[in-house]
Structure 1
Amino acid sequence: MLLQRQFKMELAQTNTGNTPKSYSLNMFKDFVPMCVFSESNQGKLSCEGKVEHKFDMEPHSDNLANYGKLCRERTQKYMVKSRQVQVLDNDHGMSMRPMPGLVGLIPSGSKEKKKQAPAKPSDVKRTRRDRTEMENIIFKLFERQPNWALKALVQETDQPEQFLKEILNDLCVYNKRGPNQGTHELKPEYKKSTGDTDAA
């Protein structure tokens, strides 16, 4: 049979807000046996005593109204989102614009490139140029640098991504691994004849 005795505990502090000041202590003897151990500086363990009573503490019925207020305050506190407004020193937005000459040099996995991605206009607004004209533009871009990421080429040429892919599939090799992973470079036959193509 479960033996239970009740005790009442009062907090000494008075300025505790809605924190309950009175608690019911329900004492039990029917629980898993426990002992208290200590360890000396030499590492020797000693049994200091046996736990004979267990107390479960809960707010006393006199404080249930205050305890309810405390629970509501906690809930409301954690539902409020704290937002901060920060004024930037550089309010010209220069740090968010791609700088001329740097497009295509940023590694494909970098954070800077990911930040620039949302600012790009959609392919719907881009108009296709003549294919021959586009091929000449692409050859000139590959004269500037040997490797280009697709997104960088879209920015440079302002052409639909799918249209560029079709041209790149004919003119370029896609690097799937190595130091230039994720970029395109001209096929060997076009590297040799780039000058001739431009002259034509």
Structure 2
Amino acid sequence: MSKNEETVKTEKELDCGNASRGVWLVKVPKYIAKKWEKATGDIEVGKLKIVKYPGQKSQVSLSLSEATLKIDPEQDIPKEHRFDVLAVKQQALGVFSQHIDSDRSDKIYMEGTIVEKLECRPYADQTYMTMKANSIKNASMPKRRVEQLDSVVTTFKPISDHKHNIEYEKKKKSDGKKSRTDKQAVMDMLFNAFEKHQFYNIRDLVQLTNQPISYLKEILKEICEYSVKNPHKNTWHLKPEYRHYSEDKKDKAETKSTKDDDKMSDSDDDDF
């Protein structure tokens, strides 16, 4: 192993020199954490008082400094707080730090082992009750409000159209509006179609004739019948007086139409 490789390996190892040092894990309210985040590094943020009685748990209290209370003076917070001490059981918790240098690899240090967990709680004084009342009031206020305008608004913000509306307009523009063809020409197209297959779904007939569905149904009612029972449910077929199938051709057409019906949609033509 080269000297450089040995150095890199040493840098990546965990430094457990302070593993035996006991530390506290403290949870503070958000309003205190926000004050401390805005505090500069050269001011006193508070004083911690620890009172020990024989055979009892230690009593820990926190008193915020006047400098901390003056940070963001619009928010008035309680000054005195107490700590609920909780023992760490069946857990192995530690505090780790990492110094990042550009000239060498990162190294992780163990700063200590957590021996107690504490929760900071305020005393229920008048300041705390006022703060909570204001917090509840602000949370219940709607984010949007209706305001009456005294003057006419001449500027409007553009509103983007929905995606499905844009796609529908493009499709409508590309397809164009379907125009009605001569009735006899439509009937010829229908007869030619029924010579190939005996049963058709309304969707297929609209695609074959390229006619409006309402206009196409008017013609279909004159020359066709609508099936409402299986095996050709929701399909159209020619009336008996317009049929001219031979027996062999009719059997083939029925076989072919049965296969096509399996591919057709089962939805009713009125839902198109």
TM-score clears 0.5: no
Query: What's the TM-score once normalised by structure 2's chain length?
Result: 0.33
Bigger relative CO (Cα 8 Å, ≥ 6 apart): 2
Q: Decide which structure has the larger Cα Rg and report it.
A: 2
* TM-score between the two structures when normalised by the length of structure 1: 0.41
